[in-house]
Structure 1
Amino acid sequence: MLLQAPAAMASLATAILNHPGITLATVHSSGVEDQANARQNIADMAAGGPAHRSSYGTAPGGVVMLDGRLLRGMLALAEQYTFSVSEICGGSHNSNSRHYAGIAADFNVVNGRRISAAHPALAAFKTRCRELGATEVLGPGSPNHDTHVHAAWPRLT
């Protein structure tokens, strides 16, 4: 297991915050307002702390450190694509979702176009997520994933 030093995680998060090709949502699609939106998750990590999880629906609340594999994956994706992240560890997902473990992100816009089954880069984007280590990659055609690509890395424990 790779050691995830807080300073290294803060540096990765800062790079994500400052990357011109990465947009981070400041609201949840549910309309619930809290301190667990994607932008705040990354800002929390950039400040050296854990990211907040939502506490509505099936969300457990509390905090979690985002995994370095997820953060490095987002930066690697940004070398090839521009994208928007709608959720990281906030929002309401399946109660056993990898989002709550800090190892998943939902991408709702890639290269300036909303995710749909007709997105021209959908297959390539999903393939790239898998190449970067994501083992759970869902999108249009998967239940409840018609408008985004969900990419999650393996649990370590």
Structure 2
Amino acid sequence: MKQSTIIFLVLFSLLITGAQSRGKHGTSNQRVNRRSLLVYTNITQAPMTITSFEKGGDGGGPSSCDGQYHSNSFFFVALPTRWYNGGQRCFDSILIYYTDKYVQAMVIDECDSDDCPDNMVVASRGIWKALQVPQSEWGETEVTWSVRI
């Protein structure tokens, strides 16, 4: 099977499993949340690295989207130049999947260095904690991410 088909099946099974664990009659808010996952596309398997978006952090200067520094406890990411698309993705949401968990993160910066391949996502510490990535994998780990269509 193609990689995109496998990823779709995994995501679909996560949605079904989540619906079953909440019972057959989830709240209307839960139904909206499950439906909102379906508006994401361009599923990309990629390395995720960690950075600091705070002043004095290893992320360098302020974010490209708003010229501000941001707390590492929030779910912020930098995307490679190709996905950042000249700022067109600023403040857009992406979903990041790691094992059986996912988070919705906001694009606030561009990863424009030579160390940033086209599929990489650079994430704040808050994302790593929320996804419960083991500390032994902090720095770089494989994830799947997708952008909102």
Q: TM-score, normalised by structure 2?
A: 0.29
Q: From the CA coordinates, give the structure whose radius of gyration is larger.
A: 2
Question: TM-score when scaled to structure 1?
Answer: 0.28
In terms of fraction of residues, the more strand-rich structure is 2
